[in-house]
Amino acid sequence: MLRSKSNAFHFAQFRKDFPMLQKSMHGKPLIYFDSAATTQKPQSVINTITDFYENHYSTVHRAIYELAAYATEHYESTRHKVKDFIHAAKVEEIIFTRGTTDAINLVAYSFGKAFIKPEDEIIIAEMEHHSNIIPWQMLCEDRGAKLRIIPINDNAEIELEEYAKLLNKNTKLVAISHVSNSTGTLNPVKQMVEMAHNFGAKVLVDGAQSAPHMTINVQDLDADFFAFSGHKLYGPTGIGILYGKEELLNQMPPVQGGGDMVNVVTFLKTTYSDLPLKFEAGTPMIAEVIGLGAAIDYVQAIGLDPISHWEQELLVHATKLIETVKGVRIIGTAKEKGAILSFVAEGVHPLDMGTMLDLRGIAVRTGHHCAQPTMCRFGLSGTCRASFAFYNTKEEIGIFIGALEEVLDTLR
């Protein structure tokens, strides 16, 4: 691994690729610490999308003319890039969705319809994002199944012994985040998958906060489903990925009917396309998919392992510094974490902190982070969250800590 100083120098050079990182906010250089919500876009992604709309735009899969062949080729090449990016076995296992939320809902609806019966059990953790809670609640309500919750400890880590107790022959699915968006906890998903498989249960991994920040190998994890969003991976909004094991996806019914997902349609009977198109009804998000391809090219060129090393360095640095700020408490002190730092300050509302930091050009997220049960676990209504990406620097973290001290002095 590169030494710290040269590491910092190496990563600082990528900042020029991001037009938004050159902006000012309230007269101060923008410090963007909200990459867990959505990442900024490199010029190459912006250019790819613009070039597609300006010079190559047409539909995919449906037409014989050259433009459509170009669009189809570039659209489908992203599917191959995603397959390689997450080390899937087959390109048919990659389904384009609108995002992580859409991908999880697809599984809840389709897997639910195929496999969930009354009295079956679905397990999630207390730390889940609402997108990995509500679809399962809806499914359980619909099918008369039970939702079981793995508790987390004071460090916001999964209680593995409690998880082991919850697993039984009725468990049909475990849906677990790889990295929590509200506390940063990195879950031992490989181990959890193995434990679930011992009971014949399938596992969905919500990779919204992991896929952009570490090397993902779905075959090594042995995950049955893996979901993530393009917009958190330096790509456009409106595009996400559902990975599913082929044999499982083949047993699941389509969720939407329409163009592109059929072989033969008659009023008597309709037959569906093979994977992956069975799950992609209608004209898809063409420019978004092509933009995601450019985003994957961009991060692959830097490398996910160096990215995750640098982001860990930023996290350690920020954690050390924030621990020196009086009255600040970190929410999420797991041993293994993604580069997410959630915190509260005694006597100060997170919203006020966020507002005052914004006036100093620092963008952090405040509130419950769509993880109300996690907030509830810690007796809070919300936190302030700084989340980092490889384009952030230690200098920015230093400015942030100085600004935080100033803000807390003012507010107390």
Task: Indicate whether 121 belongs to the interface with ligand C6P (CB under 6 A).
Answer: no
- Candidates 342, 369, 388, 391: give the one binding ligand C6P (CB under 6 A): 369
- Candidates 181, 185, 342, 392: give the one binding ligand C6P (CB under 6 A): 181
CB of 48 to ligand C6P, least distance (A): 20
Q: Binders of ligand C6P among 91-110, rule CB under 6 A?
A: 99-101
Task: Indicate whether 183 belongs to the interface with ligand C6P (CB under 6 A).
Answer: no
Helix, strand, coil in percent for the chain, rounding step 5: 45, 20, 35
370 assigned to active site = yes
Q: Any residues with CB less than 8 A from the CB of 4 and at least 6 apart, and which?
A: 313
On the 0-12 / 13-18 / 19+ scale of CB atoms within 10 A, 237 is middle
In terms of CB distance, is 71 or 136 closer to ligand C6P?
A: 136
Do residues 411 and 333 touch, judged by C-beta distance below 8 A? no
Task: Indicate whether 288 belongs to the interface with ligand C6P (CB under 6 A).
Answer: no
Q: Tell me how many residues contact ligand C6P (CB under 6 A).
A: 17
Task: Indicate whether 81 belongs to the interface with ligand C6P (CB under 6 A).
Answer: no
Q: Binders of ligand C6P among 209-248, rule CB under 6 A?
A: 209, 229
Q: What is the DSSP string of 86-114?
A: TT-S-GGGEEEESSHHHHHHHHHHHHHHH
Q: Which one, of 397, 369, 81, 343, lies nearest residue 233 by Cα?
A: 81
In angstroms, the CA 173 to CA 135 distance is 13
Stretch that binds ligand C6P, among 57-65, 115-123, 124-132, 162-170 (CB under 6 A): 124-132
State the residue for tokens 């010079």. Answer: 55
**Of residues 140, 370, 376, 384, which has the active-site annotation?**
370
x/- map, 29-48, ligand C6P, by CB under 6 A: -------xx-----------
x/- map, 159-178, ligand C6P, by CB under 6 A: ------------------x-
Q: Binders of ligand C6P among 317-356, rule CB under 6 A?
A: none
3-class DSSP assignment, residue 318: helix
CB of 15 to ligand C6P, least distance (A): 22
Q: Using CB positions, name the residue nearest to ligand C6P.
A: 181
Q: What is the DSSP string of 57-88?
A: ---SSS--SHHHHHHHHHHHHHHHHHHHHTT-
- Candidates 133, 204, 208, 233: give the one binding ligand C6P (CB under 6 A): 208
In angstroms, the CA 18 to CA 305 distance is 21
Q: Which amino acid is at 16?
A: K
CB of 260 to ligand C6P, least distance (A): 22
The residues annotated with a catalytic role in the active site are: 370
